[in-house]
Amino acid sequence: MVAAIATAVVSLPGVAAAFGPPPGAELSVEKLQRIDDFFNGEIAAGKIPGAIVLIQRRGQPVYFKSFGKRNVDTGVPMTTDSIFPIHSVTKTITSVAAMMLVDRGKIALADPVSKYIPSFAAMKVAVERKDERGKPVLDLVPPGRPVTIEDLLLQTSGITYGFYGEGLAKSAYEGIYLGDFDNAEFAERIAKVPLTGQPRTLWDYGHSTDVLGRVIEVASGQSLYQFEKTQLLDPLGMTSTKFFLTDPAERARYAWPLPKDRHVERNSLDVTRWESGGGGMVSTITDFARYAQMLLNGGTLEGKTYLSPATFAAMTTDHIGPGSGVERNYFYFPGDGFGFGYGFGIRTDPGNAVPPPPGSPGEIKWDGATGVYLVIDRAQDMFFVLMENTPSERVRIQARLKKIIYDAFSK
């Protein structure tokens, strides 16, 4: 299946002329200095505490700077070894780890999740309707087919987040985070709440990748972190990427948000048993430089292959576009012009905005709740990473940074 998908991938140079910078466009280092003015202005206005930006092209950094403070309370400056919560960018790492197991024949995309978590065989789909008095009620109906590993990767499982949107199915997630639990117990909690839709009918952001983390544990015989550490993180040299910070020296490097943004329920300074594959990791800019370069290379780095060419192609192909039967609701986070692959947003077209948002065909991206932002532009042999802990300002800052970068390309 992976090989069949790979043959359908359009070569990036052939489609690059549709929008975005022309192939081989010059990137003006002088124009990239506008990034300095932007971030220094945001910090001076008290909107963000600090940030780090890395732009790397053709294997070499073309822009790499730190701004502001790691902790505004203590006045410690931002340094390149600062450790940031990456929240949902964790999903990309979990997805890569899962696809490594697909490559090894340990799991298959078509496998039902119940093969690894038996309680999923009894899951039901919530259908909300009004009773005779007009009061909303839930009917529970069988799924048309089992939730599969591919559904978890695509966020089309019907497993959602309970903290955005409305409805009785969403409210069923109330209390799901209470207490201390590990990945196995959390998967059992998910198995007890209804799916919000039939599998592969709606892209609905949620705990799919957390469940995928438990599948990795069952298939590998290791904890999620131990599998990722031994098979992906350590080989890549990502020594600061983990779920919890227990070493005092590492805890001191944690990048804090402004006081107004310190309302996230969990962070990696609070050590629990839950290794959230959907949002629980921390990392550094130097670790992500390694990870991003591996993705830019198509799944390899320094002679080591992490993902086969066919598997990488499958991961970075849109699987939910026209003809897939998958709908998009108001909370379609990949955004205008993007489809979705296995764990990443994939740029498929210019989108509806005029002019189109910046970027290139085939762009691979994702971001997290604190503003960490990863963009892989294979058409330009470039990636950029933004590290910040700025929940309330992140969307605006990400958009502005991306515009500055792409405005620096020659037309």
pTM of the model: 0.94
Q: What is the mean pLDDT of the chain?
A: 93
Which run of H or of E encompasses 136?
A: strand 136-141
pLDDT at 64: 98
Q: pLDDT grade, residue 311 (50/70/90)? A: very high
Spell out the residues 6+ positions from residue 236 whose beta carbon is closer than 8 angstroms to its own. 287, 290, 291, 294, 301, 306
Spell out the residues 6+ positions from residue 115 whose beta carbon is closer than 8 angstroms to its own. none
At CA 289, angle to CA 11 and CA 34, rounded to 5? 90
Res. 35: pLDDT tops 70: yes
Give one DSSP letter per residue of 344-358, joined into a string: SEEE-S--SSSSPPS
CA distance 48 to 42: 6
Per-residue pLDDT tens for 348-403? 999 998 889 999 999 999 999 999 999 999 999 999 999 999 999 999 999 999 99
Report yes or no: 94 and 315 within 8 Å, Cβ to Cβ.
no
Peptide bond into 355 cis (omega under 30): yes
Res. 51: pLDDT tops 80: yes
Helix (H/G/I), strand (E/B), else coil: 160: coil
CA distance 68 to 70: 7
Res. 241: pLDDT tops 70: yes
Per-residue pLDDT tens for 192-231? 999 999 999 999 999 999 999 999 999 999 999 999 999 9
pLDDT at 264: 63
Per-residue pLDDT tens for 242-281? 999 999 999 999 999 999 998 766 788 889 999 999 999 9
Q: What is the dihedral of CA 228, 232, 238, 240, to 10 degrees?
A: 0
Q: pLDDT grade, residue 10 (50/70/90)? A: very low
At CA 249, angle to CA 245 and CA 254, rounded to 5? 55
Spell out the residues 6+ positions from residue 200 whose beta carbon is closer than 8 angstroms to its own. 151, 154, 156, 324, 325, 326
Res. 16: pLDDT tops 50: no
Res. 14: pLDDT tops 60: no
Q: What is the mean pLDDT of residues 11-17?
A: 40
Exposed, middle or buried by CB within 10 Å (0-12, 13-18, 19+), for 110?
exposed
CA distance 274 to 337: 34
> Terminal CA-to-CA distance of the chain, rounded, Å?
39
pLDDT at 75: 97
C-alpha pair distances (Å), 318 with each of 40, 71, 92, 321, 340:
37, 39, 15, 6, 5
pLDDT at 162: 86
- Name which of 340, 373, 68, 299 is nearest 204 in CA terms: 340
Report yes or no: 95 and 346 within 8 Å, Cβ to Cβ.
no
- Residue 18 CB: number of other CB atoms within 10 A? 11
Tell the residue number behind the tokens 């939730």, with chain if given. 147
CA distance 243 to 213: 12
Report yes or no: 95 and 134 within 8 Å, Cβ to Cβ.
no
